[in-house]
Amino acid sequence: MFSSEIRDHLAWAGGLLASLAAATIAVAIQPERTPFDTALPLLVVTVALLGSFCRSSPLSQLLAAIVGVFPVAALIPGTTLRHLAYGSLFAAALVTATACLQVRGRIPRSAAIVVTLGAVVPYRLFVVVSVTELAVGALITASVIVLLHFMALSRTLRLEAMVLAIAAGFATPLHPTRAALYPLVVALLIAALRARSLVMTAAAVLAALAAGKWALLIVAVTAAIAWFPISKKNARSMVGIGGGTMAVPLSIAPLFRSLAFAPGTFLTVRRSRSGAAAAVLLICALFVRQALTILMALTALALLVSEDEEASPSMPMLAFTILAAVLVPWSGTLPATWPLPLSLIGIGAVTVISMAGSGRSSIPGVLCAAAFLVALFATGPWRSGSDHAVGIALAPGQSVTVDPERESGSFDLLLSGANIAALPRGTSFASLEIIDSVGQAFRRDVTVGEVTDWAALRGDQFFRSRNGTPSRNAGTITGFGSTAFLRSSGAIHLSLTRPVKAISVSADPGLPETGRVQIEAFRFGAW
Amino acid sequence: MVSAITTDVFLATALAVFMAIFPYATLKPSARGRYALVDALSYALLIGLALLIRPLGLDVPQSLYFPILLMTKVTLFVVVVALYGEDAVRWSPNHAALFAGAIFALMVPHVLTSPIDGDEPFYLMVTQSMVEDHDLDLSNQYRTIATSPTRRPDIRAQQGDPIGPHGEHYSRTEPFLSILLIPGFLLGGLAGAVLTMALFGALLVRSVMSLLEEEGISFRTSVIAFWFLAFGAPVVFYSTRIWPEVPAAFFFVEALRASRQRRGARLLFSLAGLVLLKLRFIAVAVVLLPLAVFRSGVSRKFLAASAILLVPIVIVWWISGSPFNVHSLRGEVLPAEWWKVGRGLFGLLLDGQAGLMLQAPILLLGVFSLARWREAPETVKLGVFSSLLYLFLLFPRDEWHGGWAPPLRYLVVFAPVLILSAAAAIDRMNRFAALLLLALWTCVITIHGVGFPWRLFHIATRENFVGEWLSLQTGADVSRMLPSFIRPNLAAIVAAVLFCVVFQACLVLGVMKIPRWYPGPFAVALFALALVLLYARGMRPGTLVDFEDAHVVHSGGELDPEQYTVARFLYRDGWRVRSGDVLTFRYAGGPSNIFYKSSEPISVSVDGRQSFLPGTGGRWRSAPLDIPRAAGRRELAVLTGSAVLDRLETR
């Protein structure tokens, strides 16, 4: 009666409707509904739309299965497991769609836009708390599309370029609002470098002026190199020097060793001006505040990748990368382990893994992936133990004596600050006088960096915060999706041979008038 | 527990070593590089996920780690073999058998971290008796049970076991499997015996792979079928357990192959092995032999030689004093209640706890594939015909679900035929997304079964592990939405009708040769919608509460009859309560009947309303209870007396 094509259309439409109905019902009966649950029907539509672009491929069957299974995931009791299921299924859908749409290791620009929108829109627009954030999210999404447009060569992109665009979509901060122009700035920079166009450079400068001083720094570095009258030979020397400089700190960590000497196309000196600009940006990234590190690193990688005309042979690596990248925002996996809002380090690490996985050999990428996962385990705030709450706040100059109430000489004292986000790392914060069971006293000074403002990692504070990140962070995750943040809390580890009898905590008198030292808890048995 | 974890760490290492050798030896050099990448990535991902379990706050039992690793590695390799094709891999029935056998052998120490159960100790005790006492009398073994190699000091002679003229205690199990176990037992005791079963598992895999090859199944499909057969229920569970079903399946497949190849001697040898393993399989042999002669063209002289099949009967007669062992011919052949035939048939297909639908959906696909009878491979037709009598005799038996045994006990022997039928369907359909869903579910079942070997011996209720888990998590009776033919419910009737409709539709489409069009996205989404609606319905209070179910919160009392009661499926079960015990549950309310038995009058209160229930003299009776309709959980408290409560049901 109908042609095969019409029947396929009808099957997809019917599937979407049935799945949508299932998702709506599944969410309605969920007793503990989270914003992710509420967004589920929209997510189903997103995956179904992705599937509609891939209908001609055999892999579209897989997408159909994912569309169907998505609502069933909403029935899983337990928020974490449910979110993990959403994240995994959504990641699987994106990877499948990418596999459908790529052509011999490159992806058409239009297809890349579809997949990128599929990844970024749910994160930016489905879980929001205000209209302003919705508008900013939309602006970021639009900027990402412009970025994809300018990264394409002959209307196709390397798969890594698409991953970078997705990463930029995740990493661009909501606060301050004007930072939403970050992907646009990068897009214009790429266009300026590629065409050596004054108009584009001017546009990039204008966009950077609107975005903030940090963006201007990025543009200035890149534009200076773009217009600097250097020969190709000199450019190679510059990149060589830059690369060498980078290699020193990177080689300290075995984690990154394989990355720095990846035999692939990453960090090769062929890319003259882009390579030089990227090298300089990467060096700068080491010295700027943490919120800017990831943005500079992403810019550098975008400059490198956009110049490359090669195909990406490493589909498995891409699959892994997107899987990890999408798990970041949707499952709360990384927010629970990395002490940054929006898991910027996680996004950065995933992006770097993707880049390292490119080229002829995938071994460095695999090593990076393994190291990344081990690092997830080895870091983070989840060294949980048995907490004994204290709950005291001290004004500058005040002091109090607290009793751990347990016969132990080894435990963590959990501290945080309030209204101190503007203080730079290393500022004196508080001092501890620890008295053991025989009355012997020990003194321990605490600085900002070991302990941060409790909201230093919240979206609206993080970009401006100069507190750094505690190496032993004992915070808890609050919120969902792009609004999730780690309620920061520094764990000061005390290890005495004899049990501690009392601790006198004194807030530094030099703290701001509204600043507070918050004694949150004793934590026993953490590791 | 520490020992179990140590065992698993050792096994994981052994598995990693094996998977670092076998796949690379099997793959041709051109494919090794790509496999190496997938191999490394899978390890990275697994390690990462394992490390994230704690930070995510997930509660994943450690006994699941090894099965998850095992299934991931095995599945990845099989997927690679299927995708790369025969040009990139050296793959034959022997390779498949070697691979499966090695994996089964690796599973043995893990499975043995929990005690053997069901008939297993008895098979082993017979082996021990033959080795040590050179007889079949188990009296010695029962006397020294504390030091028995079965590691089951609680084992006693079962009621109804054959007793010899001089008080000898014989086992009701046929002795042939015990004889086969002797070499393994001599080499390694219990572990050696179980390894012998793993060997038979490998032999079965080899036979089935050869059968698939002979029936012209494509390379890719045969590899997929291999995975489903070897690493899916029920074969994977019985390959590491002492039951006669896997060797029987091997002999059955060999008999079918012999029929197709017109090799009479091999056919007779295989059928003799089949019947020796379990007398009940004579129902298969007496059908297959004439079919082989008159349909497949095996020489008629072998009909005369079929007298060899009487040998097992003579042996059993000699041991037990009856040609039918402990069974009565009337009870075995003529069903007492005919409705039980339908219950057994649909139960084996659709039961939410013990049926193919939950335990081995790929075999259910094989059943559906039979709707295209004309296109079915000849061996499938032969296998189905020869199993009909056996199945007909099985359906009305109360233990159609296998009794106290791993799932699908009575269908293990026919699993190869259903796999072949499913393989033919897979070849025709080419729907890999549907296969993926089946494979995912099969993985879940296998991981659960290997991770919790003792849970394979689930008591026959209507609940499966998913239903139990959901019921525990939600406090609602979600299990009642699963079709149950053990305790027949409305869902069972719906499922049976749906099965008939779909099967009939497949039949009509096949007969009319209507070209098929699979509305994939719609079908999957519709299935999901049905699941969600069932779940939503399950979350609402029901009109029936079985007091022993997982969703009932028990503050006091115990299961009745106790979990390890022999032939427990013959009893009506409930929850034994005494004064002071409290049960809470969701229930719709309204005029109701409570079913219970007690030897004395008891007083209960439901939501604070007191009621008196008369004594029943130890028999099951019902009494009316008026329970107001209300939302929330109900509380039933026993104020005085004691009773066994079966269920609460609206009138």
A67, B521: Cβ pair inside 8 Å? yes
B529 vs A7, A21, A317: nearest CB? A21
Determine, for residues A84 and B56 on separate chains, whether the beta-carbon distance falls below 8 Å. Answer: yes
Higher per-residue confidence, A319 vs B591: B591
Tell me how many residue pairs between chain A and chain B have CB atoms under 8 A apart.
Answer: 156
Read off the tokens for B148: 């028995």
- pLDDT over 70 at A429, yes or no: yes
The type of residue at A89 is L
CB contact under 8 A, A80 and B56: yes
In chain B, what residues touch A26 (CB-CB under 8 Å)? 532, 535-536
Judged against a pLDDT cut of 50, whether residue A253 lies above it is answered with: no
DSSP assignments along B284-299, one per residue: HHHHHHHHHHHTS---
Question: Could B521 and A68 be called an inter-chain contact, meaning their C-beta atoms sit closer than 8 Å?
Answer: yes
Predicted pLDDT at A249: 45
Give the residue from B524, B534, B537 with the most A CB atoms within 10 Å of its CB, the best one to mutate.
Answer: B524
Judging contacts by C-beta atoms under 8 Å, the chain A residues touching residue B531 are 22, 72, 75
pLDDT at A251 over 50: no
CB contact under 8 A, B528 and A18: yes
Bridge partners for B576 per DSSP: B558, B644
Q: In chain A, what residues touch B431 (CB-CB under 8 Å)?
A: 61
> Could you tell me which chain A residue has the CA closest to the CA of B536?
A29
DSSP secondary structure of B463-489: --HHHHHHHHHHSS-GGGGS--TTTT-
Residue in A55, A61, A321 to test binding to B, most B beta-carbons within 10 Å: A61
- A382 — pLDDT class (breaks 50, 70, 90): very low
State how far the Cα of A249 lies from the Cα of A241, in Å rounded to an integer.
14
Cis peptide before B175 (omega within 30 of 0): no
Question: CA B326 to CA B283: how far, in whole Å?
Answer: 17
Q: Does A61 contact B520 at a Cβ distance shorter than 8 Å?
A: yes
Least Cα distance to B240 among B308, B204, B205, B194 occurs for B194
What is the C-alpha to C-alpha distance for residues B642 and B528, in angstroms, rounded to an integer?
A: 44
B58 touches chain A (CB under 8 A): yes
B420: distance to nearest CA of chain A, Å? 24
Chain A residues close to B52, C-beta within 8 Å: 333, 337, 376-377
- Asked if omega into A404 is within 30° of 0 (cis), the reply is no
Q: Report the predicted TM-score, pTM, of the whole model to 2 decimal places.
A: 0.81
Describe the crossing of helices A159-171 and A344-356 by its angle, rounded to 10 degrees.
170
**Rounded distance between C-alpha atoms, residue B302 and residue B286, angstroms:** 13
User: Does the beta-carbon distance from B44 to A370 stay under 8 Å?
Assistant: yes
Phi/psi at A360 (nearest 5 deg)? Answer: -75, -35
Residues from chain A contacting residue B522 (CB–CB below 8 Å): 10-12, 14-15, 18
> SS3 of A227, please?
helix
Task: Give how far A160 is from chain B: nearest CA, Å.
Answer: 18
pLDDT at residue A252 in the model: 40
Residue type, A120: V
pLDDT value for A270: 43
Sign of CA dihedral A52, A58, A64, A69: negative
Q: How far off is chain A from B137, nearest CA to CA, in Å?
A: 53
Instruction: Tell me the Cα Rg of chain A.
Output: 25
pLDDT for res B513 = 63
Sequence letter at residue A87: G
Residue in chain A nearest B474 by alpha carbon: A77
- Listed in sequence order, the residues at least 6 apart from B370 whose beta carbon sits closer than 8 Å to its beta carbon are B376, B380, B384, B421
Q: Do A22 and B40 touch (CB under 8 A)?
A: no
Least confident span in A191-205, A255-269, B93-107, B587-601 = A255-269
Q: Out of A75, A370, A374, name the one closest to residue B532 (CB).
A: A75
pLDDT at residue B372, rounded to an integer: 87
Contacts of B474 in chain A (CB under 8 A): 31, 77
Chain A CB within 8 Å of residue B179 CB: no
- Segment among A257-261, A463-467, B543-547, B634-638 with least mean pLDDT: A257-261
Residues of A in contact with B45 (CB under 8 A): 320, 373
Q: How many angstroms away from the CA of B261 is the closest CA of chain A?
A: 38
Confidence of residue A6 (pLDDT cuts 50, 70, 90): confident
Dmax over CA atoms of chain B, in Å, equals: 79
Contact A320 B41 (CB under 8 A): yes
pLDDT at A235: 57
pLDDT of amino acid B112: 92
Residue B41 at interface with chain A, using a CB cutoff of 8 Å: yes
Q: What is the mean pLDDT of chain A?
A: 76
Q: Tell me the CA distances in angstroms from B276 to B60, B130, B174, B310, one per residue in order.
A: 43, 17, 7, 10
Q: How does pLDDT run across A23-44, given as a tens digit for each residue?
A: 999 999 888 888 888 888 998 8
Q: Which residues of chain B have pLDDT under 70?
A: 1-5, 52, 54-57, 320-321, 323-336, 430, 511-519
Report residue A67 as tokens. 């569309």
Burial of B618 (0-12, 13-18, 19+ CB in 10 A): exposed
Pair of tokens at residue A214: 């940090």
Q: Do B436 and A80 touch (CB under 8 A)?
A: no
Contact A184, A222 (CB under 8 A): no
Check if B55 contacts A (Cβ < 8 Å): yes
Distance, in Å, from the CA atom of A119 to the CA atom of A116, rounded to the nearest integer, reads: 5
Asked whether the beta carbons of residue A376 and residue B48 sit closer than 8 angstroms, the reply is yes
3-state secondary structure of B274: helix
Pairwise CB contact (< 8 Å): A25 & B532: yes
List the single range of A38-52, A223-237, A451-465, B249-263 with lowest mean pLDDT. Answer: A223-237
Q: Could B525 and A67 be called an inter-chain contact, meaning their C-beta atoms sit closer than 8 Å?
A: yes
Task: Evaluate whether A103 touches A123 at the Cβ level (below 8 Å).
Answer: no
Q: Which residue of A has its CA nearest to B432?
A: A61
| ipTM higher than the 0.85 cut | no
Task: Tell me the CA end-to-end span of chain B in Å, nearest whole number.
Answer: 48
Q: Which of B48, B524, B539 sits opposite A68 (nearest CB)?
A: B524
What is the rounded CA–CA span in Å between residue B53 and residue B60? 7
Closest residue on chain B to A52 (Cα)? B521
- pLDDT tens digits for B514-555? 666 666 778 888 888 999 999 999 888 988 999 999 899 999
Which residues of chain A make contact with B433, given a CB cutoff of 8 A?
61-62, 64-65
The interface residues of chain B toward chain A in range 468-527, judged by CB-CB distance below 8 A, are 470, 473-474, 517, 519-527
Q: Which residues of B touch A73 (CB under 8 A)?
A: none
Single-letter residue type at B494: V
Cα distance between residue A67 and residue A51, in whole Å: 8
pLDDT at A328 over 60: no
**Closest CB from A10, A15, A317 relative to B525:** A15
Is the Cβ pair B531, A376 closer than 8 Å? no
- Cβ neighbours of A382 in B, within 8 Å: 54-55
pLDDT of A269 reads: 38
> What's the pLDDT band for A266 if we cut at 50, 70, 90?
very low
Cβ B131 vs Cβ B125: under 8 Å: no
The amino acid at A294:
I
Instruction: Measure CB to CB from residue A68 to each of B41, B432, B525 and give the nearest one.
Output: B525
Whether A16 sits inside 8 A of B521 (CB atoms) is yes
Q: Does B48 touch chain A (CB under 8 A)?
A: yes
Interface contact B41-A77, CB threshold 8 A? no
**What is chain B's length?**
651
